[in-house]
Amino acid sequence: MSIVRKMILGYILLIFIPVVTFGYYYYSKLYDSVSRQFVESRQKILEQAYSNMKADLARIDSTQRMLQYNPYVTDYLDGSYETDSESIYAYNRYINPVILQSLNISPEIDTFRIYITKQGVLPITDRLLELSALDEQGAGATRMLRPGQGKWILPDSKVEAPPLVFYQNIYNHDFTEIVGLLELRVGSELIRKFYRATGGGDWTAMLLPPEGELPEREGIPSAVDPATWARMASGESQTYFINREVIVNQLFIQELGVRVAVIGKVSEVFRSIRSQEIVMITTLAVLLTLLSFAYYTLASTITKRVLRLARHMRNLNDDNLKQSISKEDKPGRKDEISFLTETYNSMLLRMDELINNVHRAELRNKEAAYKVLQAQIKPHFLYNTLETIRMLAESNNDQEVAEISYWFGKLMRYSLSAQEDHTVLSKEIETVVFYLNIHKMRLQKRLTYEVDIAVTDEQMSCPRFILQPLVENSIIHGASVTLRPVHIRIQAAETEDVIRISVSDSGIGIPEDRLLQLHSRLSNGEDVEPREEAEGGVGLYNVSERIKSFYGGASRLVLESEEGKGTCLTIIIAKGAASEHANLNSRR
């Protein structure tokens, strides 16, 4: 068995299997314990929220007692006032203030009504109505009201946060006859407040019937699977349970005759057990360290030969090139380490040869640097010659020759004098304008152009000659091949995420088959025919690759064209990549 196989087998038996087994066992125990503690704490939160809602309901219930023990209210409902004027005066003077006080105490009340049960009592406004105005749902709910007890109902239990309605009878002074029926309608905010108190966030609360089949309605959490929904529909008395990946806490609300279910995902439990996870990770790390040490001790007896080879490598330097490593292996042993030792000895011999080659290469580099220094004389001579031509043209009042000499000199200086392969966007655009001016001088009215730059950071770093091949493509394949005027537009704009620099022309466009080849070339880097080098395919591909290499990320070159209408080349630069290269350029 090879050394690699022995090491893999030892790692699996001594480290991997024990650590994974212990981690799984520990995590299972932690999962069960924390899940149980969590659902119990959630149940206590639900009970506390229910206690708070009971207090709110009791406060609203107390409105009936304020009315019952107010003699003006009972006298009015009992028909003690003989004339309408007396009734109106009593209502405005004594009864309406009581109603307003009740509404101030319980702002949750949306509608306050008292239905009059006795004949001859004057109805006033929409708060004192005849019993015939009571709807069928209210009439059915109050038919079996007991003395001294009220009843809460949910008029529409299918909505997520239903409103509530409270009914209770009002008796005369002697409690021998019902003189009115109190109706209080409470908006949905009370139930929403209760929902928020149950936990909110990723937890969903909903009101359900006490037992039986659950009604179908929208808003059921997507995490609730059919098995959990069926278990909730069974109406079991268990206050909470965990079904697969779902936690359900339940509580019966006696006042409303419904039960509330709070539903959440099991994954939410582990947001609160980070400390337990740290303990588990630390324990596993310590165990892994101990087992790794034991494994290292065992493996070191097998890898001594590798260590001897490593020591020899560490002692190796330019002044101490040992041509071979002493062998302490048994004769005739043929394994990976013996092969490595032989290869290492061959490498040392090869290194000695390469060092001699490096010295010779350094001499050749010095000679090449001298030739480069000599070549620098030629660009300076070219600049001086072009400047002389421009000065002579200006002295002879030949403005066109002067301008084209100036533009060409700028292009040559930009092309030949650079020490680095990158520049800034504003400099690149300025050079392209010089290039366009030269071609416009040649093509006259057949060529027009415009430059629209809307980029805040014109000092953004960019590769040199990244726009000139695109403009050259528009001139050669757009303007030079047709006699009609062609307009070239250079536009730069930015959004929050990208910077777009486009070069578009109104030339003849690109045929569809040729456009497909160029798209394949730009996206996949596929091989192209030799003729494409003369038609711009290689130039566009080089620009595309330079953009991807310089900016990285999602930066790219996009080609769009329609035959007979024109072509648009767009450089898309990701904002993050542009900022990174700009900062790098500033540090340089």
pLDDT in tens, 11-41: 778 777 887 787 777 777 777 777 778 788 8
Instruction: Assess whether pLDDT exceeds 80 at residue 188.
Output: yes
The tokens of 323 are what? 């041509």
pLDDT at 501: 92
pLDDT at 530: 42
Instruction: Assess whether pLDDT exceeds 60 at residue 62.
Output: yes
Instruction: Assess whether pLDDT exceeds 50 at residue 1.
Output: yes
pLDDT at 328: 52
Highest mean pLDDT among 298-307, 320-329, 396-405, 575-584: 396-405
pLDDT in tens, 470-482: 888 888 887 777 8
- Dihedral sign computed on CA atoms, order 59, 64, 123, 89: negative
Going through 368-524 in order, the beta strands assigned E by DSSP cover 422-424, 447-453, 461-463, 486-494, 498-505
Task: Tell me which of 393 and 450 has the higher pLDDT.
Answer: 450
Average pLDDT, the chain: 78
pLDDT in tens, 103-152: 999 999 999 999 999 888 889 888 899 988 898 888 888 888 888 889 99
Name the pLDDT band for 291 (thresholds 50, 70, 90).
confident
Highest mean pLDDT among 81-85, 276-280, 409-413: 81-85
Cβ atoms of 123 and 129 within 8 Å: the answer is: yes
Crossing angle of helices 336-375 and 377-395, in 10° steps, is 30
Q: Say whether 146 sits in a helix, a strand or coil.
A: coil
Q: Say whether 362 sits in a helix, a strand or coil.
A: helix
Highest mean pLDDT among 314-323, 398-407, 450-459: 450-459
User: Structure pTM?
Assistant: 0.45
Mean pLDDT score, 331-345: 70
Q: Say whether 498 sits in a helix, a strand or coil.
A: strand
Share of the chain above pLDDT 70, in %: 76
451 burial class (0-12, 13-18, 19+ CB within 10 angstroms)?
middle
Highest mean pLDDT among 32-46, 291-305, 311-325, 353-367: 32-46
Instruction: Assess whether pLDDT exceeds 80 at residue 588.
Output: no
Share of the chain above pLDDT 90, in %: 14
Mean pLDDT score, 363-369: 64
Mean pLDDT score, 284-312: 72
Task: Point out the least confidently predicted range of 285-289, 364-368, 453-457, 514-518.
Answer: 364-368
Can you spell out the DSSP letters for 208-254? Answer: E-SSSPPPP-TT--TT--HHHHHHHHTT-S-SEEEETTEEEEEEEET
Mean pLDDT score, 539-553: 83
Name the pLDDT band for 2 (thresholds 50, 70, 90).
low
Instruction: Assess whether pLDDT exceeds 80 at residue 411.
Output: no
pLDDT at 534: 42
Can you spell out the DSSP letters for 61-101? Answer: HHHHHHHHT-HHHHHHHTT---SHHHHHHHIIIIIHHHHHH
357 burial class (0-12, 13-18, 19+ CB within 10 angstroms)?
exposed
- Dihedral sign computed on CA atoms, order 369, 373, 378, 380: positive
Can you tell me the distance from the alpha carbon of 538 to that of 246, in angstroms, rounded to the nearest whole number? 59
pLDDT in tens, 481-537: 788 888 999 999 988 888 999 999 988 888 888 888 888 888 776 544 444 444 455
Mean pLDDT score, 374-387: 59
pLDDT in tens, 214-243: 555 455 555 566 777 777 776 666 777 777
Task: Name the residue with tokens 């029926």.
Answer: 181
